[in-house]
Structure 1
Amino acid sequence: MEWLLLFFFLPFVLTMMFFNWLEEKLFKFRDREKLEEGEILLHENKFVEAQLFFTEKLNHFPKSSRAYFYRSKANLMLKNYFSALYDIEQSISFDNTVGEAYVIKGKVLYKLKEYDRAFLEFDKADWFFRSENPETLRWRGMARYCIGQVENAINDFNKAVLLGDEDAAYILRTKFEYIKKRG
C-alpha cells in the first residue's frame, strides 16, 4: 500500500519542486533586468529617486532580495535607519548568502549605536569575505572599539591597512579620534 502511495505522489512532489525552482530562476532573471536603472541612481547619489524606484519594484516583486538590498542602501544614505534596517532584514530573509548585506546591516546598527549587534553582523560579513574585505574589517574594528575590545579592534584595523584601507590607517594614526567623534 505504501508503495502505491509513493508511486502516485512522488511525481507530483518532484513536479512541484521543479516548478518552484523554475519560478525562482525566472524571478531572478527578471529582477536583474529591471533593477539596473535603480543601481545607476544609487551610483549617481540620487538616493530619493532610487528609494522610490526600488519601492515601485517591490510593489511588483515583493520577494526580490536585491530590491530590498538596494532600497536599504538608499535609506541608509538618507539616514532613514529604521527603514534601512527593515529592508536589509527582508533582503537577508530572502537571500542570506550576500556578504555585503551583512555589512549594510552592521552599518545601520552601528549608526543606531547598537554596537554589539553591529559587531556580530560585521563578523558574519567577514566570514563571507574570508577576511579579505578591508571595509568589513574596518567597520568590525570600529564596532569592537565601541564595545571595549581595543586590542582586537587594532588587529582588525591592521589587517584592513594591509589590504590597502587608508581609512583604517587614519583611525590608527589618530589614536581613534575619528571613532570617538562619530560614536
Structure 2
Amino acid sequence: MEWILLFFFLPFVLTMMFFNWLEEKLFNFRDREKLGEGERLLHESKFVEAQAFFTEKLKYFPKSSKAYFHRSKANYMLKNYFSALYDIEQSISFDNTVGEAYVIKGKVLYQLKEYDKAFLEFDKADWYFRSENPETLRWRGMARYCIGQIENAINDFNRAVDLGDEDASYILRTKFEYLKKKY
C-alpha cells in the first residue's frame, strides 16, 4: 500500500521542486535585466531616486535579494539605519551567500552602536571573502576596537594595510584618534 502511495506522490513532489527551482532562476534572470538603472543611480550617488527605484521593483519582485540589497545600500547612505537593517536582513534571508551583504549589515549595526553584533557580521563577511577584502578587515578591526579587543583590531588593521587599504593605515598612524573622533 505504501509503495502505491509513494509511486503517485513522488512524481508530484519532484515536479513541484522542479517548478520552484525554475521560478527562482527566472526571477533571478529578470532581476538582472531590470536592476541596472537602480545600480546606476547608486553609483551616481542619487540615493533617494535609487531607494524609490528599488522600492518599486520590490512590488513586482518581492523575493529579490538583489533589490533588497541595493535598497539597503541606498538607505544606509541616507542614514535610514533601521530601514537599511530591515532590507539587508531580507536580502540575506533570500540569499545568504553574498559577503557584501554582511559588510552592509555590519556597517549598519556599527552606526547603531551595536559593536558586538557588528563584529559578528564583519567576521561572517571575512569568512566569505577569505580574508582578502581590506574594507571588511578594517571595519572588523574598528568593531573589535570598540569592544575592547585592541590587539586583534591592530592585527586586522595590519592585514588590511597589507592588502592596500589606506584608511586602515591612517587609523594605525593616528593611534585610533580617528575612531574616537568620528564614531
**What's the TM-score bracket when you normalise by the shorter of the two chains?**
over 0.9
Q: Name the CA distance, whole Å, in 2 between partners of 1:108 and 1:149.
A: 20
Q: Which blocks of at least 5 consecutive residues in structure 2 are unaligned?
A: none
2:48 is matched with 48
Q: Whole-Å Cα distance in 2 between the matches of residues 61 and 22 of structure 1?
A: 15
Structure 1 runs, 4 residues or longer, greater than 4 Å off: none
Counterpart-to-counterpart distance in 1, 2:83 and 2:12: 41
Q: Which residue of 1 aligns with 2:162?
A: 162
Q: Does 1:74 align with 2:74?
A: yes
Residue identity matched to 2:159: K
| Paired residues for 1:62-141 under 5 Å | 62-141=62-141
- Measure, in 2, the Cα distance between the counterparts of 1:80 and 1:8: 52
User: In the aligned structure 1, how far is the partner of 2:24 from the partner of 2:85?
Assistant: 25
1:44-96: CA deviation from partner (whole Å, max 9, x where unpaired): 00000000000000011111000000000000000000000000000001110
CA distance in 1, matches of 2:17, 2:61: 21
- Describe the SS at the equivalent of 1:20: helix
What is the SS of the residue equivalent to 1:155? helix
Alignment partner, residue 142 of structure 2: 142
Structure 1 residue 182 displacement after superposition: 2.0
Structure 2 CA distance for aligned equivalents of residues 181 and 86 of structure 1: 28
Give the SS at the match of 1:96.
coil
Tell me the distance in 2 between the aligned counterparts of 1:89 and 1:126.
18
Structure 1, unpaired ranges of 5+: none
For 1:11, the equivalent position in structure 2 comes to 11
Q: Report the Cα distance in structure 2 between the residues aligned to 1:17 and 1:149, rounded to whole angstroms.
A: 47
> In the aligned structure 1, how far is the partner of 2:51 from the partner of 2:176?
33
- Report the CA distance between 1:27 and its aligned residue: 0.3
Aligned length: 183
2:79 is paired with a residue whose SS is coil
Which residue pairs with 1:33 in the alignment? Answer: 33
Sequence identity, in percent?
89
Partner of 1:173: 173
The two structures have a TM-score, normalised by structure 2, of 0.99
